[in-house]
């Protein structure tokens, strides 16, 4: 795995983990499971998964 692929994997995992960790911290009031389904969080998770899928697809082909 080259340096670009490693960076993309780290970026994707970091996006996903930061979304999962910081959502409860920055949600005002009592935290509910439905807070994980807000639009910006879904977008962050999707971008993270796209990074991971594209990176692993590129490393498997190359």
Domain that holds residue 31: 3-61
pLDDT digits (tens, 9 = 90+) for 15-47: 778 777 877 777 777 877 777 777 777 887 788
For Cα atoms 27, 23, 41, give the angle at the middle one, nearest 5 degrees: 115
- Which residues fall within 8 angstroms of residue 9, CB to CB, at 6 or more apart? 1, 51, 52, 55, 56
What is the value of pTM for the model shown? 0.55
pLDDT digits (tens, 9 = 90+) for 3-15: 777 777 787 788 7
- Structurally, the chain folds into a number of domains equal to 1
- Residue 38's H or E segment, with its range, is none
Distance between CA atoms of 41 and 10, rounded to whole angstroms? 18
């Amino acid at each position: 795995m080259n340096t670009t692929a490693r960076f993309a994997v780290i970026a994707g995992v970091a996006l996903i983990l930061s979304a999962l960790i910081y959502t409860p911290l920055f949600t005002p009031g009592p935290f509910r499971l439905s807070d994980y389904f807000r639009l910006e969080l879904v977008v962050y998770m999707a971008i993270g998964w796209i990074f991971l899928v594209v990176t692993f697809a590129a490393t498997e082909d190359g």
